[in-house]
Amino acid sequence: MKTVYFDCNATTPVRPEVFEAMRPFLSADGEYGNPSSLHTVGQRAHAALEAAREKVAALLGAADASEIVFTSSGTEADNMAIVGAAFAHRERGRHIVTSAVEHHAVLHTCEYLEKEHGFQVTRLPVDRQGRVSAEDLKRAIRPDTILVSIMAANNEIGTIEPTAELGAVCREKRILFHTDAVQAAGKMSLDLKNSPVDMAAISGHKIYAPKGIGALYIRRGVRLHALLHGGAHEKNRRAGTENVPGAAALGAACDLARREMPKEEPRIRALRDRLEKGILSGVPAVFLNGHPTERLGNTTNLTFEYVEGESLVLALDQAGFALKKSDLPGVEVSTGSACASGLLEPSHVLKAIGVPPEHIHGSVRFSLGHFNSDKDVDSALEIIPAAVDRLRKMSPLWEDRAPSPSGKG
């Protein structure tokens, strides 16, 4: 039984086209060369690496492929941007501005600079929909601010940040602006050459390339310290023999994303909308977390009141069993509930948008992608109401709930 995979913001399967693009670089009789070598097989690897770089640059709308540096992950790209910029510009100041809803790759990197290197970090609040305001950013900027890092789109709720506006504020004040575009890339069009963005991080495995490859866009002229020291790879910006198969895969994935976006974005959005509307109308006591419109087309984050998220994730995963219908597929999703986190901490994103703890407890993120179909949404709309109902019947809070005026629960 094929599962219904609605966790594409966590990771995506490698697309067959992407797998084929990297295959030659993984076989002993293929393109195993080191791009730094002068011989033929090395130069072919070098050419493949540069071709991949062009494709990444095209998806991001970079002015030049040389503005792309391959990394091991989106996390490394965020680290490189933030630590690299902080170290390169610390003589000008030690103040960094970020937001409360960033991914941990940004938040914990800023925290590290704060704790270990004497930087000061301002974390901007967000509104109920998860948006940072340019006014708040203006107020937070100080004479010693050297870097602002605000994500392009949020991984948990999908809210799209006003990066053009925020970047413009930074440009006016001559402050570097980095954006974590890990969730945005491939899901919305980006045009970095015409945007006030100095650095942008992306990750391969969110866009149908394998884990272990990412990239950082660094606008020409932006000075960063390297995190990894060694050979002259990536124009001295990131030492370590390049991950040629990974880069080839990322290039292929970016190329597919760029070419298919005009058709795929609306298709996935329509599936997401049907799923969301179906749940909101078919299950009582559910509401949306995040922005109704300024949101990635693939993401919906819903709170199911009176249900705990981890148990709902497990129940949906084992839907056939739990609902005594072996022909039902499992539905794979994720939750912001503390019970599902390694540190028993509820989602910092939902907390920041003002969702009360009991509602974070019942939050579930559905994130769709390329491999989802109408059939998946049909299955999910059959499974979800039944799974929620089953857990609610076990919940003492459901029996005790105050009756709502609509009588819907």
Partner 1 sequence: MYSPKVMDHFQNPRNVGELADADAMGKAASSTCGDILRLYLKFKDGRVVQSTFKTFGCGAAIAMSSVLTEIVVGKTADELKAVTNVQVAEALGGLPPIKMHCSVLAEEALKSALEDLAQRNRSAA
Could you tell me which residues come within 8 angstroms of residue 230 by beta carbon, excluding any fewer than 6 positions away?
239, 240
- The answer to whether 31 touches 42, Cβ cutoff 8 Å, is no
* Rounded distance between C-alpha atoms, residue 396 and residue 383, angstroms: 22
By CB under 8 A, residue 308 contacts partner 1: yes
As measured in angstroms, the least distance from the Cβ of 327 to partner 1 is 17
- Which two structure tokens, joined as six digits, stand for 338? 């503390």
Q: Where are the alpha helices (DSSP H) in 89-142?
A: 104-117, 134-140
- The answer to whether 106 touches 98, Cβ cutoff 8 Å, is yes
- Of 310, 332, 378, 389, the one binding partner 1 (CB under 8 A) is 310
- Of 342, 403, 405, 407, the one binding partner 1 (CB under 8 A) is 342
Burial class (CB in 10 A: 0-12, 13-18, 19+), 401: middle
- The answer to whether 390 touches 323, Cβ cutoff 8 Å, is yes
Of 8, 110, 254, 339, which residue is the catalytic one? 339
Segment lying near partner 1 (by CB under 8 A), choices 188-196, 197-205, 347-355, 357-365: 357-365
Length of the chain: 409
- Of 14, 113, 322, 368, the one binding partner 1 (CB under 8 A) is 322
Q: State the DSSP H helix or E strand holding residue 10, giving kind and residue range, or none if neither.
A: none
Segment lying near partner 1 (by CB under 8 A), choices 156-164, 198-206, 287-295, 338-346: 338-346
Question: Residue 136 or residue 305: which is nearer to partner 1 going by CB?
Answer: 305
As measured in angstroms, the least distance from the Cβ of 213 to partner 1 is 27
By CB under 8 A, residue 10 contacts partner 1: no
- The answer to whether 128 touches 353, Cβ cutoff 8 Å, is yes
Segment lying near partner 1 (by CB under 8 A), choices 86-94, 197-205, 236-244, 305-313: 305-313
Question: Residue 33 or residue 309: which is nearer to partner 1 going by CB?
Answer: 309
As measured in angstroms, the least distance from the Cβ of 315 to partner 1 is 8
Place of tokens 């390169």: 88
Segment lying near partner 1 (by CB under 8 A), choices 23-31, 123-131, 163-171, 303-311: 303-311
* Rounded distance between C-alpha atoms, residue 315 and residue 304, angstroms: 13
By CB under 8 A, residue 1 contacts partner 1: no
Question: Residue 144 or residue 399: which is nearer to partner 1 going by CB?
Answer: 399
By CB under 8 A, residue 344 contacts partner 1: yes
Question: Residue 302 or residue 340: which is nearer to partner 1 going by CB?
Answer: 340
Query: Do strands 299-304 and 363-367 pair parallel, antiparallel, or not at all (unpaired)?
Result: antiparallel
By CB under 8 A, residue 339 contacts partner 1: yes
**Strand partners for 70:** 215
Question: Residue 396 or residue 403: which is nearer to partner 1 going by CB?
Answer: 396
Residue 339 designated active-site: yes
Residue 51 Cα distances to 54, 61, 335, angstroms: 5, 15, 38
Q: What are phi and psi of 27, to 5 degrees?
A: -110, 145
The interface with partner 1 within residues 368-397 (CB under 8 A) comprises 393-397
As measured in angstroms, the least distance from the Cβ of 151 to partner 1 is 27
- Which two structure tokens, joined as six digits, stand for 141? 């900027």
* Rounded distance between C-alpha atoms, residue 118 and residue 95, angstroms: 9
**Residue 221 DSSP class:** T
Question: Residue 164 or residue 339: which is nearer to partner 1 going by CB?
Answer: 339
As measured in angstroms, the least distance from the Cβ of 366 to partner 1 is 19
- Of 11, 37, 43, 318, the one binding partner 1 (CB under 8 A) is 318
Question: Residue 266 or residue 357: which is nearer to partner 1 going by CB?
Answer: 357
* Rounded distance between C-alpha atoms, residue 175 and residue 161, angstroms: 18
Segment lying near partner 1 (by CB under 8 A), choices 169-177, 217-225, 266-274, 314-322: 314-322
Place of tokens 């949306």: 288
Segment lying near partner 1 (by CB under 8 A), choices 121-129, 157-165, 201-209, 331-339: 331-339
Nearest to 70 by CA among 220, 318, 250: 250
By CB under 8 A, residue 7 contacts partner 1: no
Number of residues that bind partner 1 (CB under 8 A): 25
- The answer to whether 80 touches 227, Cβ cutoff 8 Å, is yes
By CB under 8 A, residue 307 contacts partner 1: yes
Residue 374 Cα distances to 11, 206, 270, 272, angstroms: 20, 21, 9, 10
Active site residue ranges: 339
Q: Which residues bind partner 1 (CB under 8 A)?
A: 306-308, 310-311, 314, 318, 321-322, 337-340, 342, 344, 357-358, 361, 393-399
